[in-house]
Structure 1
């Protein structure tokens, strides 16, 4: 068995793994088995081995320096060193979006995670073309994006709901900014709680009227050009980040 060596400070090149074990709190000297997928990733993709440093994190325990203790095929163990970052929630917004084709939806999840989305809420609109989502795969993409961008928490991904249903229970005091094409946006210091991006082809007239009647909804302009839905997600999140001074 390899002898663990604890790194003094983590390197940005060290592999970073999301790991959360129910009823187990991270602590120095703790030894934990790796899930099969992560053991395979470390050994076969990252070419790591016993004695190599990794970083392990979750929202509850923060981020820890750790060392690979054993690694073989799809099995392995790590030993924890010191805490490097305490728990910290990402300060961002919820993202309501109409599902797109598979690759575009996965891109939305990846980019949204990197841009600080705290919760993804896919909504069905009149022009939504996709009504089925693989939530397990999307959760994996969000986890991988969090590992890459160095955030500590993984955004939640909720099941599909109709836009009408979501709006019917949306609190009046929770600002929701909607990207409405060819309509003036609102300026001012108000901080958004959520962003709504429509489907390919945009919202229907009835949906625009429904949004405009809701007291929590505020129009957000993304410029004079008509953007693809996945591009609008990036532009909208960046615009709201600037509004809140992020």
Structure 2
């Protein structure tokens, strides 16, 4: 017998919406969402769309009406509850725009629960367009089938981050001057963790001293080579997810 095809198929459009969803709920999408569904994906009446609300999870919805600037849908059933992502924060120093865009995208795909941008003395950027940054994380979550968006906060100066750091959360920081091998340090750390990545020029000596003075801080090494900020963030997240995160709990996930 031929295998029963997966439903909904992977080609079904997938969108996050702001309102809470429930079975039988009707909603109208306009703006970019309507353009994407109607003009890019060319959905028609009775087609299926997958919606996520970052509250209750992932839902199937039926297209009831497609107009030039709006699409009306009815929610038909829940597919998955909102996922529980590992309690990992990424605290990356701001980088040049295109490189930080990559950090936002890949941190979302890799499963970070929170992204807290950091301002250090050697940062080449000092501002972040939050609307644009949130759009990048939403698009990445849609692409990788996350049902929970990462929390994204306004950039914070390093000294303020350290001053208010929670007592029960380990702060791993990638130190170009060396530290414990990342894999070993992550395995020995607490389940509530964060990874701090420095800017393109690295941390200044005074900044490094302040970080090391924090009782919850743990210096880590990401190998023998000097990594760009975006590479270090992606590498550290990957190692953490493989050893202490949720990769091992979901061996059947082959999304790429």
- Whether these two folds match at TM > 0.5 is yes
Asked whether the equivalents of residues 47 and 63 of structure 2 are also in contact (C-alpha less than 8 Å), the reply is yes
- Matched with 2:23 is 28
Q: How does 1:118-137 map to 2 (within 5 A)?
A: 118-137=113-132
Quote the Cα distance in structure 1 between the aligned partners of 2:179 and 2:171. 15
Shift, 1:92, TM fit: 4.3
Q: 1:27 to 1:173 in 2, by over 3 A?
A: closer
- Matched with 1:3 is none
Alignment of 1:190 onto 2:185: no
- Matched with 2:152 is 157
Asked whether the equivalents of residues 189 and 243 of structure 1 are also in contact (C-alpha less than 8 Å), the reply is no
Q: How does 1:171-182 map to 2 (within 5 A)?
A: 171-182=166-177
- Matched with 1:91 is 86
- Matched with 1:58 is 53
Asked whether the equivalents of residues 38 and 71 of structure 2 are also in contact (C-alpha less than 8 Å), the reply is no
Quote the Cα distance in structure 2 between the aligned partners of 1:74 and 1:93. 39
With normalisation by structure 2, the TM-score equals: 0.88
Quote the Cα distance in structure 1 between the aligned partners of 2:30 and 2:86. 29
- Matched with 2:63 is 68
Q: 1:120 to 1:245 in 2, by over 3 A?
A: closer
Asked whether the equivalents of residues 179 and 220 of structure 1 are also in contact (C-alpha less than 8 Å), the reply is yes
Asked whether the equivalents of residues 189 and 244 of structure 1 are also in contact (C-alpha less than 8 Å), the reply is no
- Matched with 1:16 is 14
Q: How does 1:222-237 map to 2 (within 5 A)?
A: 222-237=222-237
Shift, 1:243, TM fit: 3.0
Q: 1:225 to 1:44 in 2, by over 3 A?
A: same
- Count matched residues: 236
- Matched with 2:32 is 37
Shift, 1:53, TM fit: 1.0
Shift, 1:93, TM fit: 1.1
- Matched with 1:215 is 215
Shift, 1:28, TM fit: 2.3
The CA RMSD measured in Å over matched residues stands at: 1.6
Q: 1:89 to 1:20 in 2, by over 3 A?
A: farther
Question: 2:180 aligns to what SS in structure 1?
Answer: coil
With normalisation by structure 1, the TM-score equals: 0.91
Asked whether the equivalents of residues 21 and 75 of structure 2 are also in contact (C-alpha less than 8 Å), the reply is yes
Give unmatched runs, 5+ long, in structure 2.
Answer: 1-5, 247-256
Question: 1:34 aligns to what SS in structure 2?
Answer: strand
Question: 2:188 aligns to what SS in structure 1?
Answer: coil
Quote the Cα distance in structure 2 between the aligned partners of 1:106 and 1:73. 31
Asked whether the equivalents of residues 45 and 66 of structure 2 are also in contact (C-alpha less than 8 Å), the reply is yes
